[in-house]
Amino acid sequence: MGLIGSAIGAAGAIFGGISASKAMKKVKANVEAQKKQNKDWYDRRYNEDATQRADAQRILTMTEDSIRNRNRAAAGTQAVMGGTEESVAAAKAANNRALADAAAQIAVAGEQRKDAIEQQYLQRDAQLQEQLNNMEAGRANAIAGAVQGVSKAANSIPF
């Protein structure tokens, strides 16, 4: 391989290393952007108020409507049949317990949802971190290959 061939070999190795490094930087930036999006998603979803979600609001509204209807029925029964104030108060207390139970169930479901969101976030974050680690290993190999190519080219230069 002559002097020109060795110089071309060295230049090719350097150019290949630079090109690989540029490509790795783009891919790394892309994965880091995905990590940020994953974190933003986690922060947004994990910190949502479970009682403000549409499904929870529907349950609470339906429970409150049911309670209002039962309270009216209890008051009507008392007026027509002469029930006691205690019976109306007991019905209202039972209805209030039903509302509290519905809110408690929503809170439990919200905690389970948070656990699932956290698991999903951690799994995705680990996958993205593994990609970054693999890229760093690939980058190190590319640099080592470029250095080796330059060394081979330099060794083949006739002095």
Tens digits of residue pLDDT in 14-33:
566 566 667 778 888 889 99
For residue 9, CA distances in Å to 1, 20, 153 come to 10, 16, 6
More confident residue, 116 or 99: 116
Tens digits of residue pLDDT in 124-139:
999 999 998 888 877 7
List % helix, strand, coil for the chain (3-state, nearest 5).
90, 0, 10
Longest pairwise C-alpha distance within the chain: 118
Mean pLDDT to the nearest integer, 142-151: 64
Range of the domain at 20: 3-155
Q: Can you list the alpha helix ranges (DSSP code H) found in 47-84? A: 54-81
Report how many domains make up the chain: 1
DSSP 8-state assignment for residue 84: -
Q: CA-CA-CA-CA torsion for 55, 59, 62, 68, nearest 10 degrees?
A: -140
- Whole-number pLDDT of residue 23: 72
Q: Is the pLDDT of residue 118 over 90?
A: yes
Tens digits of residue pLDDT in 52-83:
888 899 998 999 898 888 878 877 777 777 66
At 154, list the tokens: 């330099």
- Encode burial over 59-85: b for 16+ CB neighbours within 10 A, e otherwise: beeebeeebeeeeeebeeebeeeebee
CB distance 153 to 15 below 8 Å: no
Q: Is the pLDDT of residue 4 over 70?
A: no
For residue 137, CA distances in Å to 18, 90, 140 come to 16, 70, 5
